[in-house]
Structure 1
């Protein structure tokens, strides 16, 4: 394994960080809002699936009131 001196390592890291394209503030806000919307829709979906399965199991086991 080749040894690399710390100064060269830091220079290479800085060079790589300069290649990164960082998102704009607007892109970050829009993406964050999209994530919250998808989390909300997923929560509703799984809630509904849970309710349907719960109802089905209660009917099968004769526990439905």
Structure 2
């Protein structure tokens, strides 16, 4: 097995960091918007399920 010292690791990290492609401003805004939409939809879904289960439990115990 080859030895890899701190200098070799730092060199490999720099090489890998050069391969990073950052998203554009537009891609960032679109992704953020999609996250907000999905969170909103999930919140509505869980609210409706909660209301349905709450109504069902009340009907069972009354």
TM-score by length of 1: 0.84
Counting matched residue pairs gives 62
- CA drift of 1:2 comes to 4.4
Matched, 1:40 2:46: no
1:1-65 mapped onto 2 (5 Å cutoff) = 2-62=2-62
Shift >2 Å, 4+ stretches: none
Q: What are the ranges of 5 or more consecutive residues in structure 1 without an aligned counterpart? A: none
Q: Aligned-pair RMSD on alpha carbons? A: 1.3
Instruction: Show CA shifts across 1:24-62 (max 9, x none).
Output: 111111101100110011001100110011001101110
Relative to the length of structure 2, the TM-score reads: 0.87
Structure 2 gaps of 5+ residues are none
Distance 1:34 1:19 in 2: 26
